[in-house]
Amino acid sequence: MIEVQNLTKSYGDFTAVDDISFTCRPGAVTGFLGPNGAGKSTAMRMIVGLTPPTSGKATIGGVDFSNIPNPGTQVGVLLDASAQHAGRTGREILKLGAVTMGIPLSRVDELLELVGLSPKEAKRRVRHYSLGMRQRLGIAHALLADPQVLILDEPVNGLDPAGIHWMRGLLRYQAERGGTVLLSSHLLREIEVIADDLIVIGNGRIIAQGSKEELLKGQGTFVQAGDSASLARALTDAQLAFSGTDAFTVDAQPEAVGQVAATAGIALVELRQSDGADLESLFLSITSDSQRGSAFIQGDVA
């Protein structure tokens, strides 16, 4: 279990991570979603003790990362697939990890096979690897000692659709056997496929969190009437919170909204549970705050 409590990181005036709290439960894949520069990587580096937090704390299984003995065997971490010495071979990188962790070197070959790097590729220097190959190598490194907890920063970045599918199966297996998985992504579509729980972060703050079903279901009721002014008045009188000008999204169940309309004698054009567009529009609105992010997301959606 990963627990993050009021974690904050400031660099001078700039607050990269702003008072975030969340829990990743065992047996589930938690997706950490946000545009580039939202603070995902900084938060993950704080969880594994590489970045000292300004305030707040993060624990894994109740303890600080630095108090976990031989942490590589218990928590598999991939922070940046490109953060490897370009002059080392893929095999050598895994070997260094295995020696540090004290696990049999036979695991190196097992993992290379698992992530689909051929013996020939494993002998090449990482300089000549594509991003997808580096991701596979990084995942192999994180999985070397078969850890219970996985923390992966943008692991799907650079993988082809088959790779994404493979990753999904891999993380699902981890969760089903009781493991805890936290993975970040800047692509809603990607994380939607893989995660059970979602944490959405923008500009260093958590904007939404909960199970995927909850978040994607959207909340409230979509309602539209021919006479929208009367409907607005009736909703206000009934003390129901709503938004919109022509059609409304009301913070209540469809039945309650229908009752209000019936009592007021207003004919409705449409009444239904609001659809799951909320998360996507929320995500698009936070990403359009930063131009970098918006270009990325729009490119992906298009």
Q: Which residues bind another protein (CB under 8 A)?
A: 1, 25-27, 45, 48-52, 60-63, 65-75, 77, 79-80, 82-88, 92, 95-97, 99-102, 141, 148-149, 178-180, 196
Rounded CA-CA distance 148/72 in Å is: 10
The token duo for 227 is 């006479």
User: How far apart are CB 182 and another protein at their closest, in Å?
Assistant: 14
Nearest to 151, CA basis, from 18, 37, 61, 30: 30
**Cβ closest to another protein, residue 101 vs residue 271:** 101
Q: 180 near 2, Cβ under 8 Å?
A: yes
User: How far apart are CB 176 and another protein at their closest, in Å?
Assistant: 9
**Cβ closest to another protein, residue 190 vs residue 196:** 196
User: How far apart are CB 241 and another protein at their closest, in Å?
Assistant: 31
User: How far apart are CB 2 and another protein at their closest, in Å?
Assistant: 9
Q: 274 near 219, Cβ under 8 Å?
A: yes
Straight-line distance from the first to the last Cα atom of the chain, in angstroms, rounded to the nearest whole number: 36
**Cβ closest to another protein, residue 148 vs residue 221:** 148
User: How far apart are CB 23 and another protein at their closest, in Å?
Assistant: 11
Amino acid at residue number 54: T
**Cβ closest to another protein, residue 70 vs residue 263:** 70
Rounded CA-CA distance 25/255 in Å is: 34
**Cβ closest to another protein, residue 85 vs residue 272:** 85
Within 186-220, strands assigned E span: 197-202, 205-211
Give the CA-trace dihedral at 133, 188, 209, 164, to 10 degrees: -30
**Cβ closest to another protein, residue 117 vs residue 252:** 117
User: How far apart are CB 215 and another protein at their closest, in Å?
Assistant: 16
Residues 6+ apart with CB under 8 A from 252: 220, 221, 240
Q: 113 near 156, Cβ under 8 Å?
A: no
Residue 276 region by backbone torsions, left for phi larger than 0, else alpha for psi between -120 and 50, else beta: alpha
Give the CA-trace dihedral at 150, 134, 186, 6, to 10 degrees: 40
User: Around Cβ 82, how many Cβ atoms within 10 Å?
Assistant: 12
User: How far apart are CB 282 and another protein at their closest, in Å?
Assistant: 25
**Cβ closest to another protein, residue 83 vs residue 302:** 83
User: How far apart are CB 119 and another protein at their closest, in Å?
Assistant: 18
**Cβ closest to another protein, residue 165 vs residue 177:** 177
